[in-house]
Amino acid sequence: MKKKGVDFLNSRSPSISSDFASLNENLPLKDTKVSSHTPSFLFDTSSNRFENRPSAFEVLPRFDKFKKSYNKKGQILIENVIFIILNLVFLSILILFLTKQASGESVLEESYSKKIALLADYSKPEMIIKFDMKKGMKISDDNGFDFSKTVRIDNDKNLIYVKLRENGGYSYTFFNEVNLNAYPDIENNEYTGLYVLTVTEEVFDEN
């Protein structure tokens, strides 16, 4: 007695054989060219299966893309370094400028006039005050300005003028009702860098 499974295979065997024969005839066994994008396979022992691995022709475009991206990042890094250096140079110049201005003529003129006005407000008649202006004397000498004209006092308007250069000066008001007189201190026919302030009682005009 024949089994149904065997009869089925026997009945299908002529067609299967003919299918394989036609398949072999259609296969290009000679002069076969492998495509540049033919994938390769890697056997994974952990999963017991083949995994698709990109060919060298597929890796090259990715490498070119990575190379372009790397060059772009390198260019951006250089631009950032140049930007930081320029900012540091600018900040250095700004700091030097502010430092110079802080010790410059205009700032010193303002400082001297305010300090002398403060002394005038707290002074009393018959007082003699010596005010240190050695730094101002050096600046006035560098500017070719006469040190004896550095401090001028207008008692009518209660104003104190300090000038260390020809085109400059600063004035400040004092409120004490006294008369001030200012002149440079001289020793051995040379300026000592001090200014002498003499205080007298204010005289009111009865008219």
pLDDT digits (tens, 9 = 90+) for 154-172: 999 999 999 998 888 899 9
At residue 46, the pLDDT reads 58
pTM: 0.51
Sheet containing strand 128-132, strands side by side: 128-132, 190-201, 178-187
Question: Which residues share a beta bridge with 187?
Answer: 190
Collect the ranges in the chain with pLDDT lower than 70.
1-76, 100-103, 203-207
Please check whether residues 90 and 118 belong to one and the same domain.
no
**Predicted local confidence at residue 30, as pLDDT:** 44
Strand order in the sheet with 159-162: 151-154, 159-162, 170-173
Q: How many domains does the chain have?
A: 2
| pLDDT score for 78 | 81
Residue 35 belongs to a domain: no
- Cα distances from 63 to residues 56, 60, 67, 70, in angstroms, run 10, 5, 6, 10
Q: How many residues does the chain have?
A: 207
Q: Which domain holds residue 79?
A: 55-102
Number of helices and strands (H, E) in the chain?
Answer: 4, 8
154 assigned to some structural domain: yes
Q: What is the pLDDT, as a whole number, of residue 27?
A: 45
Tell me the DSSP string of 83-150. HHHHHHHHHHHHHHHHHHHHTSHHHHHHHHHHHHHHHHHT--TT-EEEEE-HHHHHHHHHTT--GGGS
Q: What is the pLDDT of residue 21?
A: 46
Is residue 72 assigned to a domain? yes
Domain-located, residue 143: yes
164 domain-assigned: yes
Q: Taking a C-beta distance cutoff of 8 angstroms, is the pair 119, 197 a contact? A: yes
71 and 154 in a common domain: no
For 50, 54, 104, 108, 181, the CA distances from 58, given in Å and listed in that order, are: 18, 6, 70, 75, 95
The answer to whether residue 30 sits within a structural domain is no
117 and 169 housed in the same domain: yes
Same-domain check for residues 138 and 173: yes
Cα 32 to Cα 109: distance, rounded to the nearest angstrom: 97
**Residues 89 and 131 both lie in one domain:** no
